[in-house]
Every structure is written in structure tokens, then in C-alpha cells.
Amino acid sequence: MAIQWYPGHMTSARKKAAETMASIDVVIEVVDARLPEASTNPIVHELRLFRQRPCLKVLNKSDLADPEASKAWIAFYDAQPGVKAVALSSKNKGEVARLPALCQSLAPHRNDNIKPLRMMIMGIPNVGKSTLMNALVKRKIAKVGDEPAVTKSQQVHQISVRHSIIDTPGLMWPKIEHESDGWMLAASHAIGRNAIIDEEVAVFLAGLLLLRYPEQLATRYGLAVDEMDSVAVVEGVARRRGLLMRGGDPDFEKASMVLLQDYRDGKLGRISLETPDSRREMLAQKTATKATN
């Protein structure tokens, strides 16, 4: 099943973003450090290229991501023209405070009181934009929520006499092209629950963790994962956590939510769902499949 999620208000948000792009200097695109490309919005890429705007790629939630994978992603983005990447946690105010200077390096001509730097922050829902905005402006101006798509309209804020920033609603794109991206986004809670079935997402996540982070699964739940498939992992979580239905069968629904929430909260350890290498491999496989069809 391909996952798609594009709430109605995002059509108007996209139009407004296109209009605003003409009057800013640098785009700050916030992505999830655990799945940077899957959480990159192609609309943001198209809009900023059309307006020829540089981009500071913020790999947020880096405290939850595999540090080696994050290093590889920073090198991947830094190699792209007009792009600079940084990995941070929006909860770390010291790290967030570096962002205006990094944006300044991408637009050195906007560096005085007459020509202040105008930034625009963009990203998909639930990647931590609101927490980042609150840390940047040093007061609570953006509503923070655990559900995607909390911010609904643009807001302009002055950081200093030399720096202003426009906050924008979380923006998805109409069609998720790669099926695995949809699953990774769902696992990371960037897609509304009305568009997914938690048990299916948990099975996907379990399969990916078995492939890349089996030790974390074994440590967290005390499972002999080398003898399990993804369904057995979720059932194993149910049994280890005492999540049983009448008759003793595992409660698959509750166990699925435990696995998903443990991943989202970082309780499984620092995990990245994709790397530049795994991304290239996925794209190569899709190209090969198309060529043989």
C-alpha cells in the first residue's frame, strides 16, 4: 500500500510560499535527520531553484539519528551547489543560535542594517520547525504539537536588526513518489494517523531495523532477532511487554504502537532509516525495475 497524505490547507500554503520566496534571501529547510531525503519536500526544491535561492539544510533531531549517517548526509548536501547542511537538535539553543550566521554565509551581500538578511523556514510537518522557531526567536511564538500540521499560516519575526525570518506551515507534496519514503515518513510521525495503519507501519519499521540495527532491537526488547521476521518482532514486543489479548494471543495493535513510539522517542538508540548509499541503491533498483518493465 502506498501512503499518501496531502491535507487541503496545504494547497494554499504552497501558493503563499511561492509568493513569499520572491522576497527572501535564504531558505532554511528543516528535515528529519533520520530520513533526510525522504523528508525533503520536492516542492521546496523546485521553488527555491526557480527563484535561485540558496538553502541551509537543517538535519533536525540529530540527537535521535545515527551520527555516522548524519556525517554522510552533510557531505552529500554540502556537495550540492548553493546548499549548506548542518545537523542539530532544535532543543539545543546553542546549536540553533548558529543558524543566522550560517545563512549569512550563503547570502554575504545581505549583512548590514540597510539590507538585513531575510530568511524563510520551510519543511514537512512534524520535523521540529516550531521548536526551532521558538529557539531562534527566543520566545514561544510557534505552537508545538506531537501531531503533524500544527502551524497553519505564515508569520514574520524579527530576530535582530539584521535578521528576519518567515515561519511557514508544514508542507507536504501531492504524491509521494517512492513507496519506502511514505513508510519512513509514517514511522517518524510526519504523516497524519488517518492516512496510515499503525500495524503495517510497525511491520515495515521492524523489517528495516532487523536489516540495519538488529542489536538495538535485541537490547531493547530482549529478543533473539536473528531467528525472527518483521511480524515476529512485533509479536515478540507484545509478549515481552505483556501486551496480550484474552486467550494469550499477542496484542499486535498495542505492540505496534510501542515499537513506533520507542523509535520516535529514541529509546531504541540513535537510528537513521536511510543513508546516502541506501538512497542511491533504492533509486538504482527503481530505475532497473522500470527498464525491465
Closest CA to 183 of 168, 162, 159, 199: 199
Given CA atoms 40, 172, 183, 244 in this order, what sign does their dihedral have? positive
What's the CA dihedral at 51, 120, 132, 114 to 10 degrees?
Answer: 130
Domains annotated on the chain, with CATH: 9-167 (3.40.50.300), 197-284 (1.10.1580.10)
Percent of residues, the chain, with pLDDT higher than 70: 92
The pLDDT value given to residue 206? 98
282 — pLDDT class (breaks 50, 70, 90): very high
Q: How far apart are CA 69 and CA 63, in angstroms?
A: 12
Cell matching residue 40: 525533503
Amino acid letter for position 264: R
Q: What is the DSSP string of the chain?
A: -------THHHHHHHHHHHHHTT-SEEEEEEETTSTTTT--HHHHHHHHHHT--EEEEEE-TTTS-HHHHHHHHHHHHTSTTEEEEE--TT-HHHHTTHHHHHHHH-TT--SSSS-EEEEEEE-TTSSHHHHHHHHHTS--S---SSS----S-EEEEEETTEEEEE------S--SSHHHHHHHHHTT-S-GGG--HHHHHHHHHHHHHHH-HHHHHHHH---GGG--HHHHHHHHHHHTT-B-TTS-B-HHHHHHHHHHHHHTTTT-S--S--HHHHHHHHHHHHHHHHH-
Residue 204, pLDDT > 90, answer: yes
pLDDT digits (tens, 9 = 90+) for 235-268: 999 999 999 998 899 999 999 999 999 999 999 9
The pLDDT value given to residue 196? 84
pLDDT digits (tens, 9 = 90+) for 9-52: 567 777 888 888 889 999 999 999 999 999 999 999 999 999 99
Q: How far apart are CA 223 and CA 4, in angstroms?
A: 33
DSSP element (H, E) containing 83: strand 83-87
Question: Could you give the 3-state DSSP secondary structure of residue 22?
Answer: coil
Q: How far apart are CA 198 and CA 9, in angstroms?
A: 24
Cell matching residue 83: 546548499
